[in-house]
Chains A and B, each alone.
Chain A
């Protein structure tokens, strides 16, 4: 019985593998050579995005302006995923807290050098994150990258063992939730604002400004800000949900 079961499984795996490898090999043979990308759309955007939108980071122009609608979809994927994780973790936590309470054990402490390193590097990382969010239209980076860097600043605090700060953060979970929701809604509102002002969804409705300045590229600044807030809030929410006061107390 068991061997027949595993034979069927093996057969299914083999068929799948052959199809996958064959299809993959077939697809790869038709790819352009390494570093020889030729496509009209890419070439057009590379050439015209900066003159048209006065923003020097054309990647940012593409994600939030030309393809803003796609980015909206991606943002909501993250939003929904985080909501799912948080709902799941809160249910587990609720069930647990009805059970035993492991009080009276002392908190674990990170080594002194790790604590200092973590505390010292948190602020510079946060500044870099803020810079990357606000300068997305000028230099590589943007809302998503900057938002994750902002989150990393707080992760460093966690590594340093300043658990109490993070627990206080979790006590303000509403703030994180609000940040995530406001950020996610912000990009949608921006799209609809374009629809109202110009008749086209996600069309820029703010003046472009002059190239190289902070407020150039029209609404890119606002879009980056919204996504930055959403991403930082979303990841922090997952991390803080994973933190469990009892978990922190018992580890040593």
Chain B
């Protein structure tokens, strides 16, 4: 084990801890992206460039993008459910209201 490997392993551990302890979803998605980036570097240092490639793109681009979009969608649904409640319950309110509740 060389110094570079030890540094990267420590950083990956720290990033993993940060990902778990970050509670705000948007921030958590970004921190998870950083974890993906560090994992990619670690795999590269461990001489697995193929795996590093996958981890780099999936971990630091695809997963955060999907998470952010999903969070935005959930928030939009909650907002429209709140609006629907204000407007003396139009037809679609029951459905979107229950969805907003599930997303919590």
Q: Beyond A34-B1, A142-B50, A148-B58: 4 further Cβ-contacts under 8 Å?
A: A102-B80, A140-B49, A152-B61, A152-B62
Interface status of A18 (Cβ within 8 A of chain B): no
Main DSSP-derived SS at the B contact region: helix
Q: A34-B1, A100-B84 given as contacts; is B65 within 8 A of A145 (CB)?
A: no
Query: Do B90 and A100 touch across chains, with their CB atoms under 8 A apart?
Result: yes
B76:A244 contact, CB within 8 angstroms: yes
Which residues of B are found within 8 Å of A181, using beta-carbon distances? none
Q: List 28 A-B contacts (CB under 8 A).
A: A34-B1, A57-B50, A59-B50, A96-B80, A99-B80, A99-B90, A99-B95, A100-B83, A100-B92, A140-B52, A141-B49, A142-B50, A144-B54, A148-B57, A148-B61, A149-B53, A151-B62, A152-B61, A235-B62, A239-B66, A242-B69, A244-B73, A246-B76, A246-B80, A247-B73, A247-B76, A251-B72, A251-B76
Given contacts A140-B49, A145-B53, A149-B57, contact A239 B69 (CB under 8 A): yes
Q: Select B53's contact among A140, A235, A239, beta carbons within 8 Å.
A: A140
In the complex, the chain B residue whose C-beta lies closest to that of A58 is B50
Closest residue to B64 on the A side, CB-wise? A155
Which B46-100 residues have C-beta < 8 A from chain A? 49-50, 52-54, 57-58, 61-62, 65-66, 69-70, 72-73, 76-77, 79-80, 83-84, 90-93, 95-96, 99
Band of interface residues on A = 20 to 34
Q: Which residue of B lies closest to A89 (CB)?
A: B73
The interface size of chain B toward A, counting residues with CB under 8 Å, comes to: 29
**Complex CA–CA separation, A247 to B92 (angstroms):** 17
B62 touches A148 (CB 8 A): yes
The yes or no answer to A90 lying at the interface (CB within 8 A) is no
Let me know if A99 and B76 touch, CB within 8 A: no
Q: Please, which residue of chain A has its CB at the minimum distance from the CB of B47?
A: A35
A221 contacts chain B at the CB level, 8 A cutoff = no
B57 cross-chain contacts in A, Cβ below 8 A? 145, 148-149, 151-152
Q: Would you call A95 and B95 a contact (CB within 8 A)?
A: yes
Residues of A within 8 A of B (CB): 34-35, 57, 59-60, 92, 95-96, 98-100, 102, 132, 140-142, 144-145, 148-149, 151-152, 155, 158, 235, 238-239, 242-244, 246-247, 250-251
Q: What residues on B are CB-neighbors of A238 within 8 Å?
A: 66
- Complex Cα gap A100–B83 (Å): 10
Q: Which residues of B contact A149 (CB under 8 A)?
A: 53, 57
- Residue numbers in A under 8 Å from B61 (CB-CB): 148, 151-152, 155
Task: Report if A148-B99 is in contact (Cβ < 8 Å); known contacts: A34-B1, A100-B80.
Answer: no
In angstroms, Cα B50 to Cα A122, docked, is 22
Measured between alpha carbons, how far is A136 from B46 in the docked complex, in Å? Answer: 20
Q: Which of A99, A102, A155, A243 contacts B62 (CB 8 A)?
A: A155
The chain A residue sitting closest to B49, CB to CB, is A140
- Give the chain A neighbours of B66 by CB distance below 8 A: 238-239, 242
CA distance A192 to B35 in the complex (A): 40
Residues of B within 8 A of A247 (CB): 72-73, 76
Is A141 in contact with B69, judged by CB distance below 8 angstroms?
Answer: no
- How far, in angstroms, from A148 to B57 measured CA to CA in the complex? 6
Question: Which chain A positions have C-beta within 8 A of B54?
Answer: 144-145, 148
User: CB-CB < 8 A to B80: which residues of A?
Assistant: 96, 99-100, 102, 246
